[in-house]
Amino acid sequence: MKAIDPVCHMEVETETAEWTSEYQGKQYYFCAPGCKRSFDADPQKYLAGDAGGEHAGHDHGDHAHHDHGH
């Protein structure tokens, strides 16, 4: 099953996700530890709507992004 990283909006495979957080009874999945840290610091920033745009204000470090093409 796939989930969307609430920070950068990448697809994350829920069964193999290394970084997760629970907030208000819901599980969230992240593509990289930086996204999880950003979310944990201010969950409402990422759940109140996409005000920051994709990959705004955080660093994935060595995480390799996959192709989003369909």
Residue 25 lies in a domain: yes
| pLDDT tens, position by position, 12-69 | 999 999 999 999 999 999 999 999 999 999 999 999 864 444 444 444 544 444 444 4
Residue 38 lies in a domain: yes
Parent domain of 30? 2-47
Residue 10 lies in a domain: yes
| pLDDT tens, position by position, 7-26 | 999 999 999 999 999 999 99
Predicted TM-score (pTM) of this structure: 0.68
Residue 42: both structure tokens together? 């201010």
Residue 60 lies in a domain: no
Residue 59 lies in a domain: no
Are residues 29 and 22 in contact, defined by beta-carbon separation less than 8 angstroms? no
The C-alpha torsion from 4 through 56 and 66 to 19, rounded to 10°, is: -50
Residue 30 lies in a domain: yes
Q: How many domains does the chain have?
A: 1
Residue 68 lies in a domain: no
The C-alpha angle 61, 22, 43, rounded to 5 degrees, equals: 65
